[in-house]
Chains A and B, each alone.
Chain A
Amino acid sequence: MESLIYIFINTVETCLRMAPFPAKTGLIRIGNPDRNSPVLLTCNYHLTVQRMKRALRGLDAFLLVANSRGINVWCAATGGLFTNHDAVSVLKTSGIEDLVDHREVILPQLAATGLERKVIKKKTGWKGIWGPVEAMDIKEFLANGETKIESMRQVEFPMVRRFEMAVAWAFLISIFFTAILSAFWKGAIIPVVMLTWGVALLVFLAFPLYEQWLNPKTERVGFVLFDFGRGGFQLILLAVVLVVLVGLSMGPESFDWGFFLRWGIVCSIVILLVSIDLMGSTPVYKSGLHKDRMFTIELDEKRCRGAAFCEQVCPRNCYEVDQEKHLATRPRADLCVQCGACIVQCPFDSLFFKSPKGEIILPESIRKFKLNMMGKRTMNTGDR
């Protein structure tokens, strides 16, 4: 029964994935925790809380749900909706301080774009530890004495996640089409909805096949081609669909132009909508609609002392710290998704964003406004 409810919640909330879904904030007891049980903190996106509870089954622990406005950890932390204040608030007001003897809290690694361990420690006395990216790694993480293996630090876009994104987009777009078509072309609803689901599944499930041609650095932000530097996956997809349509339009006697044009337009819109933020729908690229993807992360080697905080929080494994020279290096900088976690966490402020125009965004601005600064985040600060 419990599993059925879990599946139901997962299905509904995956369909509505694009919308915030707040869960109750505060303290949740997992199993029979005692005064030495681990304390974990997460966001109040309902699906996340459900998955955390599931992932922690069989353990005795305290789960603190902080207010992230019903949005998932990564997006909320990066967008400034899951901050130190929220973590401090749940630590101080949930009553956890009376329930455990230790002062150690496991924080979600992806919250490193918004939460600062130093600030939380200063304000509450709680020591934060970056947990794994995926909830299902938590058991292993705890069993290994709270140490992470490399794969626990990285975001991936496996089949299950791709399927979830396909469903999320297909559902949203289906609703949109149903609402519009029900006004003047009811007969088209079922074929269009089927087409939408087909295209969405195709686009996301086939992602690894065409991923190599994606170009995150292209400046073209417009229609059909914007996600792609070379070629244009949408165009190829459209061409395939149009060929099928030509086939379907061939009557026994003549070519049905009306049918071909009608469905040609509908298909173009479906393909465009499904892939409108293709890169943003993956955790391995920055959104094609977001200017931040043009930023590069720069390292000020004079400031760096090799503390390796960047290495610990980077979800794309861009960093390697040279332990002899005490210096961070970025051998896999091309994988960067500009989340800014490394900039926020660096204790020596040695990392910063640089825009293509040469403007610089300093760590203090990112810490204060996150990646969300009323469009006024860049500032020229001379020769830093």
Chain B
Amino acid sequence: MSTYVLMKILESAPSRYDAGIRMLTLGQIDRIYERIALLVEKDQKVLDIGCGTGALSLRSARRGAFVKGIDVNSEMLEVARRRAKKEDLQNITFEETGIAEMEKEGSDSYDVVMSGLCFSELSKGEIAFTLEEAMRILKPGGKLIIVDEVLAVSLPLRILQLAVRIPLVVITYLLTQTTTHTVKGLAQSLVWSGFQLESSQTYQMGTLIQMVARKPNGE
């Protein structure tokens, strides 16, 4: 079991996850998450897919929404729970659930489904499945909000992105054992799944994307 040496280092990684993400996004992520939380209203029912250490969930809960955060990483969830407890937030729950395990969420039951830096961790099949589930559990007219890392559109920007990203990824991984990936064709997948894309904004030279889509209001 030789990777145990590596494991030993990775073992404490969840506690360094947030620092890692902040480094990789050069501090942008907090501002984006703050802005997203503004889209959530009091008393709305919110599902945060891949909530990790709770960055988006906690911000939404502070605005008075009823939030459920799901993630597959039990340690990150522990960090998230600890944070919620520290702030004494009663309107938030965290659950160890993967994207393929949402069947117990009722259909048409959420006002908002959100996800920060999670889709880029998924395979194509998983993305399609997740969007299908999101479509099912959202109320008609409900919002889907996604923040993720993408490849820049123009070639010069893409080259610049690589030049900045490669050393950044190495340094961040060495310091915090955290890394991210990019996701492709998200807008297209959203449309295929039946969502109406409302807005799409990019940040940090086109490398971070924020998308807001809506489940169509039934006729």
Using CB atoms and an 8 Å cutoff, list the residues of chain A in contact with chain B: 17-20, 24-27, 67, 71-72, 74-75, 78-81, 83, 85-86, 88-89, 91-95, 123, 165, 168, 277, 280-283, 286-287, 289-290, 337, 339, 368-369, 372-375
Are B1 and A375 in touch, CB under 8 angstroms?
Answer: no
Contacts of A17 in B (CB 8 A): 2
Chain A residue nearest to B6 in the complex (CB) = A18
Please tell me if the beta carbons of B1 and A280 are within 8 angstroms of each other in the complex.
yes
Q: Which residues of A contact B128 (CB under 8 A)?
A: 93
Separation in Å of the B90 CB from the closest CB of chain A? 24
B99 adjacent to chain A (CB < 8 Å) = yes
> In the complex the two chains form, what is the Cα distance from A24 to B121 in whole Å?
11
Kindly list chain A residues whose C-beta atoms are within 8 Å of the C-beta of B74: 80, 368-369
| Pairwise interchain contact B12-A280, C-beta atoms closer than 8 A | no
What B residues does A67 contact at CB under 8 A? Answer: 121, 123
Asked if B3 and A94 make an inter-chain contact with CB atoms under 8 angstroms apart, the answer reads no
A17 to B5, alpha carbons, bound, how many Å?
12
Q: Which residue of B lies closest to A337 (CB)?
A: B1
Highest count of chain A CB atoms <10 Å: which of B4, B15, B101, B126: B4
Interface flags, B121-148, vs A, CB<8A=1, else 0: 1011110110000000000000000000
Q: Does B7 contact A (CB under 8 A)?
A: yes
- Inter-chain CA distance A56–B70, complex, in Å, is 36
In the bound assembly, the distance between CA atoms of A185 and B98 in angstroms comes to 52
Q: Which residue of B lies closest to A25 (CB)?
A: B123
Given contacts A26-B123, A374-B75, contact A92 B2 (CB under 8 A): no
Some 16 contacts from A to B, beta carbons below 8 A apart, are: A17-B2, A18-B3, A18-B6, A79-B10, A81-B10, A85-B97, A85-B100, A86-B98, A88-B98, A93-B100, A94-B125, A168-B2, A287-B2, A287-B4, A290-B8, A369-B75
Do B14 and A286 have beta carbons less than 8 Å apart?
Answer: no
Contact in complex: B98, A277 (CB < 8 Å): no
A374 touches B12 (CB 8 A): yes
Chain A contact residues: helix, strand, loop or mixed: loop
Check: B78 CB closer than 8 A to any chain A CB.
yes
A residues within 8 A CB of B43?
none
A39 to chain B, nearest CB (A): 15
Q: Which residues of B contact A373 (CB under 8 A)?
A: 75
Are A79 and B125 in contact, with the CB atoms below 8 A?
no
Q: A93-B125, A93-B126, A374-B78 are in contact. Are A280 and B101 (CB under 8 A)?
A: no
**In chain B, what residue has the closest Cβ to A81?**
B10
User: Closest CB-CB distance, B12 to chain A, in whole Å?
Assistant: 6
Complex contact B10–A89 (CB within 8 A): no
Q: How far is the CA of A71 from the CA of B13 in the complex (A)?
A: 16
Residues of A within 8 A of B11 (CB): 79, 372, 374-375
Report if B72 contacts A (CB, 8 A): yes
